[in-house]
Chain A
Amino acid sequence: DQQVKQNSPSLSVQEGRISILNCDYTNSMFDYFLWYKKYPAEGPTFLISISSIKDKNEDGRFTVFLNKSAKHLSLHIVPSQPGDSAVYFCAASAIQGGKLIFGQGTELSVKP
């Protein structure tokens, strides 16, 4: 049973437009949520995170929104740039430990 789901395996966006990547989770014990970005032949790198006490966290062009009642979070990238093309993983962890549960990833392609 997959506790963190990214239902869109891929997303294509025009440069300059907004990219919205979605993530759903089932475990109500999750209280920290993270987004990682992965380029080919590299390991994932941390991008942005949010605690369950917040509903929004912004860092430059990246904003993460959390809707606890819907158990849904999203990553907004605006404006999108070709260098943002990568696989984006959503991850969640619960209070009791550092174990991260990952989604299966969404491959973002930003076209010039």
Chain B
Amino acid sequence: DGGITQSPKYLFRKEGQNVTLSCEQNLNHDAMYWYRQDPGQGLRLIYYSQIVNDFQKGDIAEGYSVSREKKESFPLTVTSAQKNPTAFYLCASSKGLAGETQYFGPGTRLLVL
């Protein structure tokens, strides 16, 4: 089955800790995205990547970092600098950046202990 997988489904972070969220796709898509969703709000773009070894900041990149070493993978690290990390994190992919449909993974819910 082609699709996007995210892991873990739930993640708990302690104060001062960095945590990494996994996103993998087997759709052979070039572009990948990370969004954050807070209750009652729409999704906000954190980072996106058009091709391997390239990525751009979105609207709320502060306190987050990403890498794109492989086409299939786009992990997101929530650093200790992100003071309000509790949210639902969604990864997406598309063939390119030219307006194609974005396909989403099941999400990771991050909670702070």
The answer to whether A and B come from one shared complex is no
User: Which residues of A pack against B, CB within 8 Å?
Assistant: none
